[in-house]
Amino acid sequence: MQKGPIAVFDSGYGGLTILQGIRESLPGYDYIYLGDNARTPYGPRSFDVVYEYTLEAVKKLFSLGAHLVILACNTASAKALRTIQQNDLPHIDSDRRVLGVIRPSVEAVDRITKSGHVGVVGTVGTVLSESYPLEIKKISPGIIVEQEACPMWVPLVENNEFAGPGADYFVKKNLDALFGRDLEIDTLVLGCTHYPILLDKIKKYTPEGVKIISQGDIVGESLKDYLRRHPEMDEKCTRGGAVKFYTTEHPDKFRQTAGIFFDGDIHVEHLEL
Ligand code: DGL
């Protein structure tokens, strides 16, 4: 058996915030990151298309040597993960694994909320999939979940407008709507990889005392725990502290924007899916 890096996949740049968190928790491992920047955003796309694109990416990452792929994209986790785990992995290679970002976030919700009222912000696709309410209710059926789709937040981040007045306008608008529907919300899940970049604005318009769950740290700690519980997978992961980046777009384009999401050197290559 050939060992390989841990793969982190996202529709574009946002998964870099998750990779950052994973590397803080597990710095010694090797990673490959793939951003499907040529076909981003996934948020507004149909289930079938997100599933098809995500499956292509997973197969490619397996072919690059990864035994473990993290879908560091809420939309892909919401729309493709379950089908890939249940229908595709048994045919592709039953020893390889694909994990998402929703389950770890939901487990954190269960630990944090006291009022039992939780808010979730995400892309239109993630919100319409109902993945967060469904997964939260599996763990804690009594928790009340209020969701808000924030379609302008990803473009604000990608266009470098996350610190400007446009961000104030849209973040306030969406959070006012969310908290206006349920004043008892005490926990807010940032259910999209881009949203940590808007954290300053999100904090500004979130009522005092509400805990904000940002996925980078949570996914990192959850992966650490997973590898502890699955030594057979841990053994298949190479350790050298290296990260290789791939994009389906032009590498120059990726490099220009990736710095918003990731601190550190980015040597990126083009990859065809
Ligand atoms: N990465 C996506 C997510 O977490 C946001 C960007 C997109 O819509 O592709 O939902």
Q: Judge whether 124 and 41 are in contact, CB under 8 Å.
A: no
Ligand 1 pocket check: which of 13, 17, 33, 42 to mutate, most ligand atoms within 8 Å of Cβ?
42
Q: Are residues 117 and 244 in the same domain?
A: no
pLDDT in tens, 184-195: 999 999 999 999
- pLDDT at position 148, please? 98
Q: How many C-beta neighbours within 10 Å does residue 257 have? A: 18
Residues 6+ away with beta carbon under 8 Å from 86: none
- pLDDT at position 58, please? 98
CATH number (domain holding residue 66): 3.40.50.1860
Does 265 have pLDDT greater than 90? no
This prediction's pTM? 0.94
Q: Judge whether 40 and 50 are in contact, CB under 8 Å.
A: no
User: Does residue 1 lie in a domain region?
Assistant: no
Q: Which of 26, 69, 192, 271 is catalytic?
A: 192
Q: Are residues 128 and 196 in the same domain?
A: yes
Q: Whose CA is nearest to atom 1 of ligand 1?
A: 73
Which residues form the pocket of ligand 1, taking CB atoms under 6 Å from any ligand atom?
10-12, 14, 40-43, 73-75, 123, 126, 154, 192-194
pLDDT in tens, 77-133: 999 999 999 999 999 999 999 999 999 999 999 899 999 999 999 999 899 999 999
Side chain identity at 127, as an amino acid letter? V
Domain that holds residue 176: 102-215
Q: Are residues 178 and 198 in the same domain?
A: yes
